[in-house]
Amino acid sequence: MTVVETSDGEVLEFIALGGGNEVGRSCHIIKYNGKTIMLDAGVHPAHTGLACLPFYDEFDMSTIDILLISHFHLDHAASLPYVMQHTAFKGRVFMTHPTKAIYRWLLSDFVRVSSITPRSSNAAPVLFTDSDLQQSFDKIEPIDYHSTIDVDGVRFTAYHAGHVLGAAMYFIELGGLKLLFTGDYSREEDRHLSAAEVPPESPDVLICESTFGTAVHLPRREKESQLMSIISSVIDRGGRVLLPTFALGRAQELLLVVNDYWKSHKSIQNTPVYFASNLAKKALTVYQTYTSMMNESIRKQFRDAQSNPFHFQYIKSLRSLDSFFDAGPCVMIASPGMLQSGTSRELLERWAPDNRNAVIITGYSVEGTLAKDIVSEPLQIPSMRDSSVLIPRRCMVEEISFAAHVDYKHNSEFIDLVKPKHIILVHGESSPMGRLKSALLSKYNSLKGTEQEIKIYNPRDCEILQIPFKAPKPAKVVGILAENQPKKDDTVSAIAVQRDFRIQIMDPSDLRAATGITYSQVIERQRIRVYGTPSLIEHHLQQMFGSVAHVKQEEYDTVIEGLEVMDGIIVWTHPQESYTLAVIEWAGNVLNDTIADSVLAVLMSVGTSPASLKVTAKSHKQSHGSDSLVERIDRLTAMLSQQFENVEPVFESGKPKPRAMAKIAEATVGIKVSVDEIDAIINFSDWSVESTSKALKSRVQHVLAQILETISPLSQTDNKV
């Protein structure tokens, strides 16, 4: 293979349409080599109406190819329906599965809250409606962590970012340039999430959050005990404690902390704790579904106790204050977190005049919100209904941050680990961001003028930052030109064909053949661990698809073997000690996507072969084991019910539903789930899913895979029986 290098350099352009020297309305544009990527589409929590949007008018939105959403927080995701329905944007949108699940509830709540805000005649217009939200929702493509997506030559991979459930860092490769966008991230493991990962490769450019600048946090355990000692002393003196929090994300972490304390302190157990949010019930379901994406401690609780770690024994959910009987000391965890309106604001106004009470700010408070202002302990606070009415503030105000953002120590350690050449700071108010920049500059001062020099930028909103790169563009010589290698000093006439970032140099006579072939625009890849050898994988694929072809690929000096099914879906197999890392690769189109879905389903079932499941099921019935088939089907049904409107058993066709419970399980051959009157059937014989809707089918497959992963008795062969 001959590779020649073309030498023209390229310039990376970075523009913050929001989140430049501010926290709120995150939205960043990357332009490089003819491709445009947008990162996040948030709103500013301190503003309403159009004023809360990033500066979308300053950019030609129709040029954006891809939009990646880092996590569900409103300052990162809440203007997405506006972008998709009310601007010229026509690109593809990606976010992780849990982000998409939570985003839906949060944004419908956001629409509800913004449409009931009291409006005067000159009030800001509503940004988008419920139907905008619904219409755009189905177009969002959910992705898995660690799965590399290739869209017309732009490749990106999501890594765990800590922070909140579903939060992702994106490692992006375009035309030889590598970027890492941290989003909001945390490097400290907490009660339910693992710390952010360090991606395996170093990026050229790191786009990094700088919320806390050079501040250093206390360790988590110390913060927890501080919080609990304040809460206990307020209760002892007969006061009420208000913990304003965003409904989803950090709230669940606080609930875990408080519930645990109540569990281990009998004396406090008769003091009620409330979680006031109309999303509380939804949160429970979503958080249960995705326990497999949380840290080991949560997964263990879930596995061992077979119970939902997010079902809190000592905490009562309140949908609204109508059902709240305010009769003495209590702890109230209430949304919203910034105290701008809603339940938390109403309780603050009610409780602020009494000096026995306390409000504890546990999240990051955005500039311009009451949560930020109250920390300076003003003597009065404005009433939400009429800001000219002032309410005396005598309650205690404390701030203990459980906001899962890196502090200086963790941020600079992370930067050392990823070793970028350029750092673009975003998501920070001017002064902490400026302090972070100076601290990093002085830290790396000795590298100045050397090859390892690290450049640091803190652009303002709408400022165009240009970073030139010497981009060596390798071009591959192909066709007859490659067969008859020209000798030194020969003059050859050839043409260079560039598609996306790939350049091929060929003889003009090869042009037709080379460009006439169907060329795939989207290469999708999906990685999965399979607990079996490549030959076992081949056996299962053969059973499903008939013939399987062997293919090979050279990568550096190793040869990777693969199995190809249905002319185009390749499973590359990388055998490891106890499993095989399988990478499914296919050119994205409707047919291939469907086949790839079933290949994925086959691979997921390799370690959980239906034959062995049936054997286990029978033995359990005979032994009257505690974990009977009935119970397992019940559990599966229960978990599916939390995700889908209707879930019911499917019996062998033509046979009526039996009367006895045990017989029901025996006769059950599958489960039917329905959403909006569309059905999907899960077959127990091979865990395949049938549906007329591709979207529903793949959602059911995904949920099923998660459930099979978490309910071990359903998915593993029990050798002891």
Our CB check for Zn ion shows the closer of 184 and 190 to be: 184
What are the residues facing 382 on neighbouring strands? 390
CB 88 within 8 A of CB 61: yes
Residue 80, H or E segment: helix 80-86
The residue type of 612 is S
- Minimum Å distance from CB 340 to Zn ion? 16
**Cα separation values, 344 from 49, 123, 276, 363, 519, Å:** 22, 23, 8, 13, 55
| Beta strand spans in 393-500 (E) | 396-399, 422-426, 455-457, 464-469, 473-477, 495-499
Q: How far is CA 81 from the centre of its chain?
A: 17
What are the residues facing 96 on neighbouring strands? 143
- Minimum Å distance from CB 101 to Zn ion? 16
CA distance 445 to 449: 9
- Minimum Å distance from CB 22 to Zn ion? 11
Among 209, 191, 321, 202, which residue's Cα sits nearest to residue 254?
191
Our CB check for Zn ion shows the closer of 173 and 184 to be: 184
Omega cis (within 30) before 336: yes
CA distance 23 to 372: 12
| Beta strand spans in 427-470 (E) | 455-457, 464-469
- Minimum Å distance from CB 210 to Zn ion? 11
- Minimum Å distance from CB 160 to Zn ion? 14
Our CB check for Zn ion shows the closer of 25 and 191 to be: 25
Under DSSP, is residue 382 helix (H, G, I), strand (E, B) or coil?
Answer: strand
- Minimum Å distance from CB 40 to Zn ion? 9
Our CB check for Zn ion shows the closer of 76 and 422 to be: 76
Our CB check for Zn ion shows the closer of 73 and 217 to be: 73
Active-site residue, selected from the candidate residues 76, 97, 217, 405:
405
Our CB check for Zn ion shows the closer of 167 and 334 to be: 167
Q: Which two tokens stand for residue 243?
A: 């913990």
Residue 3's contacts (CB-CB under 8 Å, 6 or more residues apart) are 474, 475, 476, 477
- Minimum Å distance from CB 363 to Zn ion? 9
CB 321 within 8 A of CB 343: yes
The residue type of 26 is S
Would you call 405 a catalytic residue per the annotation? yes
Q: Which residues bind Zn ion (CB under 5 A)?
A: 73, 75, 184
Give ∠ CA 412-417-418 in degrees, rounded to 5. 100
Our CB check for Zn ion shows the closer of 25 and 282 to be: 25
Q: Return the exposure string of 91-110: e unless at least 16 CB atoms fall within 10 Å of the residue's CB, then b.
A: bbbbbbbbbbbbbbbbbbbb
Catalogue the active-site residues: 405
